[in-house]
Each structure stands twice: as structure tokens, then as C-alpha cells.
Amino acid sequence: MRGRTRDRCPRELCRILEILGCVSGTRAADRRPAQPLVVLMVTRREWQQKRVTLRPPLDPSLQYDNSALIQSVAQNFLHPPSSEPYHLMQSLAETDLHAAKYINYKAEFAYAFCQRAIKKIFDGAGPGFFVEAGALDGEFLSNTLPLEKERGWTGLLVEADGDMFDELLSKRRRAWASHSCLATRPNPHSEILIKYIRQNTLKDAFSNHAARAHNSLLDQTAGNTLDGSMPGHPIYESVQCIPLATLLLATNTTHVDLVSLDVEGAEMGILRNFPWRRVTVDVWVVEHAFQTLHSQQRAINGSVTAGNDEEFIRLFTSRGYEVYEISKDLVIPNYVFVLRGSPPYHRLRATGKLSHTKGF
């Protein structure tokens, strides 16, 4: 029966079934123990036009700098920067009502705070390299798109949500792109992503994008909303998590000018397992919720300040960073850190823009 199945199924389908462990080889050496059956449903049109590509999971026993792991990530989890013209909603905003509503995200306070800080820090700087994790569609709430468009930067965009990642690729960003999540361990691992969906309305044409901004890993207790409310209807996706350093080494990058982390509670695991000496970073912009009973109660009672996490701050200051700014007027604050001795640090010192940074 298995032999007939192998003879009759398309080559691509047989490969998928073999990866899933549903079809064994004809030789004894090829046979493997029975595996749980996973059924992948696709339409004939999707099969013919897009082809279905299943990436085998990465070996969780490999450390972030293993050469085989780096090669596998480079081959299977990275899309190169696009050289085609941008395909952005903001370019249509003057003539298209749908696009005009889309760019309303620029008025969102957290986005405006991050853009103001990034502009000040990199004022006068030339092209650089960024990382943006939690990149969504590559445009909505993107902290790095202005650097790319206006200053000629490139970088790495990481998005775990498959739907958002498809949209990201359509934007034709000048950056590497990875459909993955950043690992919270020193090795790759698989997780379940909670994705929030919300019906778009005439009043808010992109409420679904706003809901997706709250996506989080199932095993994370922080993130989303401090009062426990749901940003939308939850659906689930299995995702491959890859150490940030592995992704960077796969792009031959060991120095990053800016890392933007908006990962809804996964940031502490990512940072604790980051090889700070192997890969250097000048500036970090990190959304981080300080989830104590005191801060949650203040948020529920109407306070806009959730409190600062001293342990989180020490994680950076103990590695040579200074606090540049904290968005104190947000329930979930954004922290901005600058590495002492880095080019941005010297520019800020020279212009007197570091004088206010220690008031946290």
C-alpha cells in the first residue's frame, strides 16, 4: 500500500509526506517509526501557482553559532532585500481613501515616540544596518522604514505571523526578511503563536493590523494588554524561533546600528540569550511591560504609567548602555538604550542630547 502511494503521488507531495513522517522509504534503512499524521490542505490553484514549501524544523540541539544551523537558516529562512520599486500604502494616501486611513498609524503615540528618538539619535549619521522584530507587514507601525527610505539603510525584518509576512514581502523592502520568531533560548525551538484578528470597519479600515500588533507566543505571560483584555479573536500558528545572532550571522552581520524589539513579552528571553560580545549593537528600542501587581493595578485604575523594570534596565546598563529615554506616558513603555562609546553616543554627547537620559 505504501509503495503504491509513493508511485502515485506527485514528487512534491511525497516530499511533504516524508517530512511529516507519513510515508516511509522502500528500503529498510529509510523506514522510520510511525509519526502522528498531520494533514495539509491546499487548493489546487495554490498548489499549481505558489507550490507548497515545508521547511523542516531546525535542530534544537544546535547552538546559535553552529555552521550547519547558520547555513540552514540562510537557505530556508531568509529572503534577500528587494531591488524592485516599493509597493507601499503611504504612497497612495493622497489619492486613495483606504490608504489615507492606513497611514493614521503615524499618529499613534508609541510610534511617534520611537520615531522622534530614532531621528535624534541618528541625526547626521550615514547608512546603517537595523533589525526590526515584530515587523508586521513591513509598513504599519514600522520603526525602520523611514531609515531605509530616507537614509539608505538596510537590515533584517523578522515577523512570525505568516499572513503579515506575506504582506511584508509585497512591500519590497530593501532588507532581509525572515518568517520566524526570535528564540528565547540559545538554540532554535518551535512555539505556538497567538494571532489576534479583528474585523475591519469603515471607521477603522486597519483594526486587524492593530490587533496583529499584539500577537504573542503562547508560552509568554507578558505582553498584550495589562488589564487582561483581548485585542481580538485568537487564532494559532506554529512558528520556528531562531536566535537573533543566528539570523545575523546568516546575513554575515556582526554589527547592528539599531535593534527594534516589539515582541510582546518575549524580549527578556531574547536578550538574556544574546551574545553581546559576538554581535555588537549601538542602539536598542524595546517595548517592555513591567508586569507586577502594582503596575497592573495602576494601569487598571487609569494611570498611564506602568512603572519601570529595574532588572530590565540593569540588563543593559551592566553591558555598557545608557538609558536615552523611556516613554513614561505609555501603559506599556518603550525603552531606548545607547551603547557608551558608540558613534551615536559620541554624537549625542557632542550635541548635549544625553543630558536628560538618566531621569528614570
Query: Do residues 232 and 281 share a domain?
Result: yes
Average pLDDT of the chain to the nearest whole number:
80
pLDDT at 66 over 50: yes
pLDDT band at 2 (very low <50, low <70, confident <90, very high): very low
Residue 119 lies in a domain: yes
Please name the residues in contact with 146: beta carbons below 8 A apart, sequence gap of 6 or more.
Answer: 115, 118, 119
Does 225 or 140 have the greater pLDDT score? 140
Does residue 27 sit within a domain? yes
Each residue's pLDDT tens digit, 257-297: 999 999 988 999 999 999 999 999 999 999 997 654 444 44
Does 237 lie in the same domain as 138? yes
39, pLDDT greater than 70: no
User: Which range of residues forms the domain containing residue 163?
Assistant: 89-350
**One domain for residues 49 and 177:** no
Residues 312 and 184 in one domain: yes
Domain boundary among 54, 71, 98: 54
Cα–Cα distances (Å) from 349 to 120, 170, 318, 353, in that order, read 12, 40, 20, 6
What pLDDT, on a 0 to 100 scale, did the predictor assign at position 355?
55
**pLDDT of res. 109:** 83
% of residues, the chain, pLDDT over 70: 72
What total of structural domains would you count in the chain? 2
Position 17 in a domain: yes
Residue 237, pLDDT above cutoff 60 = yes
Same domain, 122 and 49: no
pLDDT (tens digit, 9 = 90+) per residue, 151-162? Answer: 999 999 999 999
Residues 213 and 166 in one domain: yes
Q: How far apart are CA 342 and CA 332, in angstroms?
A: 28
Whether residue 317 is contained in a domain is answered as: yes
Residue 13 has pLDDT above 60, yes or no: no
Position 1 pLDDT exceeds 70 = no
Instruction: Indicate whether 214 and 337 sit together in one domain.
Output: yes
User: Same domain for 45 and 104?
Assistant: no
Average pLDDT of 60-86?
Answer: 98
The pLDDT value recorded for residue 31 is 44
Is residue 82, in this structure, part of any structural domain at all?
no
Whether 233 contacts 257, CB under 8 Å? no
Is 70 among the domain residues?
A: no
Structure confidence by residue, pLDDT tens digits, 289-334: 765 444 444 444 544 344 568 899 999 999 999 999 998 766 788 9
Rounded CA separation 338/277 (Å): 16
CATH classification of the domain holding 126: 3.40.50.150
Q: Above 70 in pLDDT, residue 344?
A: yes
pLDDT at 212: 80
Are 49 and 121 members of one domain? no
One domain for residues 160 and 240: yes
Kindly state whether residues 143 and 252 are assigned to the same domain.
yes
pLDDT at position 35, please?
A: 43
Q: 243: which 3 cell numbers?
A: 536566535
Instruction: Kindly report, residue by residue over 191-228, the tens digit of the pLDDT.
Output: 999 998 886 555 555 577 777 877 778 776 444 444 45
Are the beta carbons of 32 and 38 closer than 8 angstroms?
Answer: no
Can you tell me the distance from the alpha carbon of 77 to that of 182, in angstroms, rounded to the nearest whole number?
12
Residue 66 lies in a domain: no
Predicted local confidence at residue 329, as pLDDT: 66
Instruction: Say if residue 180 is in the same domain as residue 50.
Output: no
Give the SS3 label for residue 108. Answer: coil
Residue 71 belongs to some domain of the structure: no
